[in-house]
């Protein structure tokens, strides 16, 4: 099966069209990866999460990698990899506009917040933890 490199333009188009990616982090030499929903706009990935292992890892080491794929068939697929830096968007004046922007992009998709907010065995008191928004810069991108 012939495999070809995607152009940067094709990669960016695919990122914009998809909304589910696999976010990898590394802390203390241990890789960690989880599926997350994202929005992509203006060269950044935006996401929403409760605090947990991935956000702790990315705060400690902001180097992130995201894999996004589009699998139609075993010989008909596209795969894009992004490397960039994680930045938390706290509810402060400095990040206010970008936080609102992230929210405005993410809320275009139904129940965008649901997988990020519920955790197994949580006591249901979402207010006990502050949900957070984050961005990941798209520093390197490749696609096949
Ligand atoms: C389709 C889909 C979309 C999702 N979208 C989002 C999103 O937009 N934002 C978001 O924050 N989360 C999303 N999630 C949930 C996400 O994959 C994580 O489960 C969640 O964010 C908790 O991650 P954490 O690092 O805080 O784990 P913690 O709650 O700190 O959990 C610690 C341990 O739980 C286990 N664990 C955690 N997550 C998973 C998992 N997904 N599968 C198996 N074991 C796991 C690991 O062993 C990990 O060490 C989505 C999940 C799915 C399936």
* Residues of the domain holding 74: 8-119+127-143
Q: How confident is the model at residue 109 (pLDDT cuts 50, 70, 90)?
A: confident
Instruction: Give residue-wise pLDDT tens across range 19-69.
Output: 999 999 999 999 999 999 999 998 999 999 999 999 999 999 999 999 999
Give yes or no for residue 37 CB within 6 A of ligand 1.
Answer: yes
DSSP 55: H
Q: Is the CB of 49 under 6 A from ligand 1?
A: yes
In a domain, 138, yes or no: yes
Within-domain flag for 3:
no
- Ligand 1 neighbour 131 (Cβ under 6 A): no
DSSP code of 105?
Answer: H
Question: Does residue 113 form part of some domain?
Answer: yes
Cα 70 from Cα 90, distance rounded (Å): 32
| Domain-located, residue 108 | yes
Bridge partners, 110 (sequence order):
none
- Which residue puts its alpha carbon closest to atom 5 of ligand 1? 36
Note whether residue 134 is domain-resident. Answer: yes
Q: Whose CA is nearest to atom 45 of ligand 1?
A: 34
Task: Tell me how many domains the chain contains.
Answer: 1
Pocket of ligand 1 contains residue 25 by CB under 6 Å: no
The reply to whether 59 falls in a domain is: yes
Decide if 112 is inside a domain. Answer: yes
Q: CB neighbours (10 Å) of residue 55?
A: 17
Q: How far apart, in Å, are the Cα atoms of 20 and each of 37, 60, 142? A: 4, 24, 17
In a domain, 1, yes or no: no
Give the CA dihedral 133, 138, 21, 64, nearest 10 degrees.
Answer: -80
């Amino acid at each position: 099966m012939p495999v070809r490199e995607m152009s940067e333009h094709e990669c960016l188009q695919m990122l914009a069209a998809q909304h589910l990616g696999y976010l990898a982090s590394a802390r203390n030499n241990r890789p960690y990866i989880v599926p997350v929903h994202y929005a992509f706009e203006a060269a950044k990935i935006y996401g929403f999460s409760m605090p947990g292992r991935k956000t702790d890892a990315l705060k400690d080491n902001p180097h992130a990698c995201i894999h996004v794929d589009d699998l139609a068939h075993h010989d008909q697929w596209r795969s894009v990899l992004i490397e960039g830096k994680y930045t938390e968007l706290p509810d402060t004046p400095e990040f206010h506009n970008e936080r609102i922007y992230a929210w405005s992009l993410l809320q275009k998709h139904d129940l965008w917040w649901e997988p990020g907010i519920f955790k197994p065995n949580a006591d249901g008191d979402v207010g006990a933890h502050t949900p957070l928004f984050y961005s990941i810069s798209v520093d390197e991108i490749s696609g096949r």
